[in-house]
């Protein structure tokens, strides 16, 4: 299980199709809305 970097919700990385990659690292999302927020500004969430 992984944590959605935008909202903090737990996401099953084996089940979700909502994935983005930033600086060679994969991020998993609970919803398309969270993925869209991340994709607009990945530096805000990708370096926590």
Q: Going residue by residue through the chain, which has 48 residues, state the pLDDT in tens, using 9 for 90 and above.
A: 999 999 999 999 999 999 999 999 999 999 999 999 999 999 998 665
pTM: 0.89
Q: What share of the chain is helix, strand, coil (3-state, %, to 5)?
A: 30, 25, 45
CA torsion through residues 22, 12, 29, 5, sign = negative
Q: Which domain holds residue 20?
A: 2-46
Total of domains in the chain:
1
């Amino acid at each position: 299980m992984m944590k959605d970097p935008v909202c903090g919700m737990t996401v099953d990385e084996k089940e979700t199709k909502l994935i983005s990659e930033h600086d060679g690292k994969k991020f998993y999302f609970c919803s398309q809305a969270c993925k869209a927020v991340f994709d607009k500004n990945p530096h805000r969430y990708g370096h926590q």
